[in-house]
Amino acid sequence: MQFSKYHGTGNDFVMIEDVADRIRLNRETIAALCDRRRGVGADGLIRIALAPDADFFMDYYNAEGEPAEMCGNGIRCLAKYVFDRELTPLTELDVLTRAGVKHLVLDAGDGAVRTVTVDMGPPAFERKAIPMAGEPTETFIGRQIQVGGRTFTATALSMGNPHIVLFVDPAEDLAAVPVATLGPTIEVREEFPNRTNVEFIQPTNGRIKMRVWERGVGETMACGTGACASLVASVLAGLAGRAAQVEFPGGLLGVRWREDDDHLFLTGSAVCVYDGELDERWLYQASQGAAR
């Protein structure tokens, strides 16, 4: 089986083209592929398929092999893949995800995609939409959350997938925040029945510095839906305008929150790292859970 390795702002993916809709991967195989020591190594896997009412379907799984609703960095990688490899001549695409259809605009030149802008849709704040335990129509905006002996001001919302955004004191060194300890603790809190992504942010001078703990993955170099959630939380807190650059360890993403319809737009690059071929024997072992 052929595969490709792509990344968007350091958030990396195993890409598998399956426009004939013939490939079925179980959880064990996906987790083995994403294993950084025994497999290809990635934050997730994307199977690229066709869709009846869109140009393509992004069949996305996190590194644990669980299906996930949406990935802002991954969908840009999909767009670059299908255009650069001439699966489509279009520079505007509709891509079906488990969070609905997303519209993408590709900035392409000399036969290759440079950047992609994704209409990520509007945020949702009601607890039932995140989902988050509690009164279904209530919100969790600018509230206190305690974890690891610390108290953070936080906002919870959905960008098609669940997020909770924690504000870190601007005087604190963001690099020193124990994300690897606090992130997994919050991810599995009982308030979040489907678990949650966790953002640690510092909005300053029109830029949002950020680290992220991704549900089912761990700390990653960037997160597209997390960038959108962080801008929304910052705007609601009066700490940012409706457009900002979000600074990750993996680089910068541009986010804009349009006022007239509440849609968020995410802009960033995507990079092909390499193409490869999976060994048939390894694939069989992986499918049996024996490759790890």
Q: Does the domain made of 127-262 have the CATH classification 3.30.360.10?
A: no
CATH 3.10.310.10 residue window(s) in the chain: 2-121+270-287, 127-262
Segment 70-98, tens digit of pLDDT: 999 999 999 999 999 999 999 999 999 99
pLDDT of residue 111: 87
DSSP string, 155-196: EEEESSSEEEEEEPPTTS-GGGS-HHHHHHHHHT-TT-TT--
Segment 214-255, tens digit of pLDDT: 999 999 999 999 999 999 999 999 999 999 999 999 999 999
Q: Which amino acid is at 156?
A: A
Alpha carbons within 13 angstroms on the beta-carbon side of residue 48 total 24
63, 163, 176, 203 from 157: Cα distances, Å? 23, 5, 25, 18
pLDDT of residue 40: 96
Span 198-224, mean pLDDT? 96
d(Cα 224, Cα 166) in Å, to the nearest integer?
A: 16
52, 163, 239 from 264: Cα distances, Å? 25, 15, 17
In whole numbers, what is the pLDDT of the chain averaged over residues? 96
d(Cα 30, Cα 255) in Å, to the nearest integer?
A: 30
Segment 98-155, tens digit of pLDDT: 999 999 999 999 889 999 999 999 999 999 999 999 999 999 999 999 999 999 999 9
Catalytic positions are 71, 223
Q: In the CATH hierarchy, which fold is given to the domain comprising 2-121+270-287? A: Diaminopimelate Epimerase; Chain A, domain 1 (3.10.310)
